[in-house]
Amino acid sequence: MDNVSINNTDNDMLRDKMRSYSVLNTLYHETRQEIDLLNRQISVKDGVIADLKARLGRHERLYMTVGDKESVLISPSNSLVESLLNEICKLKQKKNEGDLKAARQEIQRLNTQLREKELELETIRCQPDHEKDREIQRLRVALQEREQAEATRSVLCTSLAEEADQLRRQLGATVKVCQELMARLEKDKRGGGEVPESSEMGSVNAQIRQLQEENQQLKQRVAYVLIYTDDFKSERADRERAQGQIDALKEQVSQLKQQESRDVVPLCHVHIGHRISSKRSKDTSEPLLRTTAERRQQHQQHQQPAAAAATPNSAWNEHPGMSELQCPQCLATFSDTKAAEYLNHCLECARV
């Protein structure tokens, strides 16, 4: 496998170099084609100049006759023609030099970019192995923390959903009893002539007060359930974001693994033990677990001041670990190996 990975790495490097060389070759051929095109244009201009010179010689050679003497040829001076030719040659030479200079600068720039890319590849290839191991270990720890936080949130969501269903059933039964009692009272009032006994009225009033108290408690619990539902939604959004970050971290881990398998250098190998920092685990996982419980604690402080005063606030300062499960109402902690006991405790707290 090592030979295959080394061969794959060499093949990738050769492909990169071949692409760079092909780019340089393409630019070189394009520059040559531009130079050939300019040479053809220069030859065309030379032909035009020669034609103009011939036409100038034909049209400006005048023969003048003065008296009985022979005709005299009048034409442009040779010095003027030579100066014009010299000026044309200078312009041609200047243009050719400018084109060549631009082509050389472009080739030099491409060579510089190619050397920079080669140096970058060499730096990545010679990167120490302990840095790669440290980065991979950090990503693994972060991934493990995310998974544990997600498991804790799923357990809380399940228990609270069951509690919400139970409260809905109790509320429905209480509403039915209240409706029956109200119907009986209305019937007794419409009776008119028959006056119920005081003991029966007292018992009915006591039942009504008891049912009203139960109804009030159920309304408070329904309010708690609605708050928990909002917390579920926020936790679901956090979980989706965390899942996206987990996928990104997994992709980074896979990329680093592939890079590590490609860039194995036997002479630079250093063995590094896998160490997990508990402080980092607590610091990174604490915000995910504290948000929901803090909102519930704040709501309990507004709705039930006495219960909030009796609840010890020091539980949040203890920073439970990622392997502990915490009750959302009494803030009691359980080990992750005692999930059944934790669920029973949550149900009992919900019934109280």
pLDDT digits (tens, 9 = 90+) for 241-276: 877 777 877 787 778 778 777 765 443 443 333 333
Q: Do residue 115 and residue 138 come from a single domain?
A: no
Domain membership flag for residue 329 = yes
Are both 118 and 133 inside the same structural domain? no
Residue 201 and residue 198: Cα distance in Å, rounded?
Answer: 5
pLDDT digits (tens, 9 = 90+) for 152-208: 888 888 888 888 888 888 888 888 888 888 888 888 777 754 445 556 667 777 777
Q: Where would I find the beta strands (DSSP E) of the chain?
A: 62-64, 72-74, 324-326, 333-335
User: Do 216 and 332 belong to one domain?
Assistant: yes
Question: 40 and 180 in one domain?
Answer: no
In this structure, is residue 41 part of a structural domain? yes
CA distance 165 to 37: 84
Same domain, 248 and 322: yes
Residue with the larger pLDDT of the pair 76 and 290: 76
Q: What secondary structure letter does DSSP report for 324?
A: E
The answer as to whether 118 is a domain residue is: yes
Greater pLDDT, 21 or 324: 21
Average pLDDT over residues 341-349: 77
Percent of residues, the chain, with pLDDT higher than 90: 7
The per-residue pLDDT for 39 is 92
* Single-letter code of the amino acid located at 85: L
The CA–CA distances, whole Å, from 59 to 48, 56, 63 equal: 16, 5, 11
Q: Verify that 50 and 163 share a domain, yes or no.
A: no
Please give the model's pTM, rounded to 2 decimal places.
Answer: 0.24
| CA atoms of 299 and 121, how far apart (whole Å) | 57
**3-state secondary structure string across 5-34:** HHHHHHHHHHHHHHHHHHHHHHHHHHHHHH
Q: Residue 307: its pLDDT value, please?
A: 39
What's residue 177's pLDDT? 81
Q: Tell me, yes or no, whether 147 and 174 share the same domain.
A: yes
Task: Identify whether 193 is part of a domain.
Answer: no
Q: What mean pLDDT is reported for the chain? A: 72
Place of tokens 């003027």: 80
The total domain count for the chain is 2
The pLDDT tens digits of the residues spanning 281-307 come to: 344 444 444 444 454 554 454 444 433
Check residue 352 and report its DSSP letter: -
Q: Are 238 and 291 in contact, with CB atoms under 8 Å apart?
A: yes
> In which domain, by residue range, is 58 found?
2-64+73-125
Distance CA(246)–CA(42), nearest Å, equals: 65
Centroid of chain to Cα 183: 61
